Chains A and B, each alone.
Chain A
Amino acid sequence: MFLLPLILGIGIGFGLAYAMVGFLAVKSNDIGNSKGDFQDFADNTVHIKVAENNVSGGNFYDL
């Protein structure tokens, strides 16, 4: 009965450790990973001319 918590515990422990060390390794060794975003290339927001919620998903609407 003790075997199940042992196996799960090791799995969870080392899984979380692997995830945390991976995150820290990227933070430590990978510099400037990001690309430019929307605000860098557009002065205004996207102008939404038509916004309809809860429409039927099956039809393709023509302009």
Chain B
Amino acid sequence: MICKCPNCGEALSYNIDEQLLLCPACDSNFNPNDAVDEETISEYETMQCDIYSCTTCGAEIAVNDVEAATFCAYCGQPTIIFNRVASQKKPEFIIPFSITREQAEEAIRNHLRRGFFVDGGVKNFQTERICGIYVPFWLYDVFYSSNQVLRGTIKHGKYRQTHYYRRISECTFNKVTVDASRRLQDESSQRLEPFDTTALKPFEAGYLSGFYADCYDSTSQDKKFFAVYKVKELFNQEVIKSVPADNVKITQDNPTHEILSETYAMLPVWFLSFIHEDKGYTIMVNGQTGKTVGAVPYVKFKIKAAIMILGTLLSGLAIKFLESDLYSHPKDFRESLFIYIVLIFISFSYGAKQFKKLKKSIGLTTAESINKFAKERQDG
């Protein structure tokens, strides 16, 4: 989508620092609300888009540019075929970028610089591989209530007694965000949360200038389930906190919910993609808050060395302690044997869980879908 300068006709770009549309040719600036021609705004909540396929690479994107001759943003080829005209639902709201490309890059560099186990090749990524994309989101207002019975335990001296609790509760959740793009994994987009939805502005096409934007390909009907599931988790966590016991679990649940409103909005995200050892990685930065999301490969040698050195030191200390315990209190040592075995089991389990968590995060960062989501725009 391109907004043109009314003075010289050059394409305008949205400047994050100024929060205005700037013309690179004549240095004029415009409010995004004023930059779009009134005559082109449709009376209805749709916007006309030309959907075209590039004859060279087959890429399909939506633009509302009236130019007959242009170039493909993916492969740079000038030959375009206009395939069809489609009416896409116009977003109601947008959160403009407030984190600049430089700030996003700096946020990523700061995180990677601090990582002891981060590969040196990853720390020095190429600066050009960052692009800003407005990602489509559905925002839901949800009323949720439930009649629940919960079970918890309370310690009485040496014993634990089980108690039951009843809660009838309700809550209204505002602007629950669910990404409306099939290509961007929900697990990844959720980690970008939270967005400050009080900063939502009425949508104007001018805000998109200088950035990429995707239209939704998952309807609000498709994504309602995710919103309700998310609300249910948040609701249950709060109800469990209200119970004055330990190990609280919900044993009976009778929930009801109502979707009060559904809103289509575009939210800002910076995407950084790079190749490391023939594998693609994509790190995301929340374009409003600057929150950085992604996992990078670790140096296996450093991990193994750290475990060996730390393990040797701790083993030495543990052996010394256990030896003295065995010789001074042999009866107590036998009783504590079970505790030592449980400690070993818990330690290895926790470590395995952490590495599994890291592996899963790296999997999300290297997912082909997210790499393709970002990379295909950068090469244009």
A residues apposed to B, CB below 8 Å: 1-2, 4-6, 8-26, 28-38, 40-57, 60-63
Do residues A42 and B234 form an inter-chain contact, with CB atoms below 8 A? yes
B170 CB contact (under 8 Å) in A8, A23, A34, A49: A49
Contacts of B147 in A (CB 8 A): 61-63
Do residues A18 and B118 form an inter-chain contact, with CB atoms below 8 A? no
Cβ contacts A to B, 20 pairs, < 8 Å: A5-B323, A8-B337, A15-B346, A18-B348, A18-B352, A21-B310, A23-B350, A25-B355, A32-B291, A38-B234, A42-B173, A46-B235, A46-B239, A48-B242, A49-B170, A50-B167, A51-B165, A53-B244, A57-B251, A60-B149
A5 CB contact (under 8 Å) in B170, B326, B347: B326
Asked whether A28 and B348 contact (CB < 8 A) given A12-B318, A46-B239, the answer is no
Q: State the CA gap A42–B322 with chains docked (Å).
A: 51
Do residues A25 and B167 form an inter-chain contact, with CB atoms below 8 A? no
Do residues B318 and A13 form an inter-chain contact, with CB atoms below 8 A? yes
Do residues A29 and B298 form an inter-chain contact, with CB atoms below 8 A? yes
Contacts of A41 in B (CB 8 A): 173-176, 194, 231, 234
Range for the number of chain B residues in contact with chain A: 35 or more
Contacts of A13 in B (CB 8 A): 311-319
Do residues B348 and A19 form an inter-chain contact, with CB atoms below 8 A? yes
Asked whether any CB of chain A lies closer than 8 Å to the CB of B297, the reply is: yes
Q: State the CA gap A28–B122 with chains docked (Å).
A: 13
Q: State the CA gap A12–B316 with chains docked (Å).
A: 10
Q: State the CA gap A38–B353 with chains docked (Å).
A: 25
A14 CB contact (under 8 Å) in B171, B291, B307: B307
Contacts of A22 in B (CB 8 A): 350-355, 358
Q: A15-B348, A16-B310, A31-B294 are in contact. List 10 more A-B contacts (CB 8 A).
A: A19-B350, A19-B354, A22-B350, A24-B116, A25-B355, A28-B298, A30-B357, A32-B294, A38-B238, A61-B149
Contacts of A25 in B (CB 8 A): 117, 298, 303, 354-355, 358
A17 CB contact (under 8 Å) in B151, B310, B325: B310
Asked whether any CB of chain A lies closer than 8 Å to the CB of B169, the reply is: yes
Do residues B303 and A46 form an inter-chain contact, with CB atoms below 8 A? no
Contacts of A19 in B (CB 8 A): 347-348, 350-351, 354
Do residues B238 and A54 form an inter-chain contact, with CB atoms below 8 A? no
Asked whether A21 and B306 contact (CB < 8 A) given A38-B237, A50-B166, the answer is yes
Asked whether A52 and B166 contact (CB < 8 A) given A19-B354, A25-B354, A35-B193, the answer is yes
Asked whether any CB of chain A lies closer than 8 Å to the CB of B295, the reply is: yes
Asked whether A15 and B117 contact (CB < 8 A) given A5-B326, A42-B171, the answer is no
Do residues B149 and A57 form an inter-chain contact, with CB atoms below 8 A? yes
Contacts of A42 in B (CB 8 A): 171-174, 234
Do residues A33 and B307 form an inter-chain contact, with CB atoms below 8 A? no
Give the distance to chain A from B117, nearest Cβ to Cβ, in Å: 5
Asked whether A28 and B117 contact (CB < 8 A) given A8-B344, A15-B351, A42-B171, the answer is yes
Asked whether any CB of chain A lies closer than 8 Å to the CB of B115, the reply is: yes
Contacts of A51 in B (CB 8 A): 165-167, 242
Q: State the CA gap A43–B292 with chains docked (Å).
A: 25
Do residues B190 and A36 form an inter-chain contact, with CB atoms below 8 A? yes
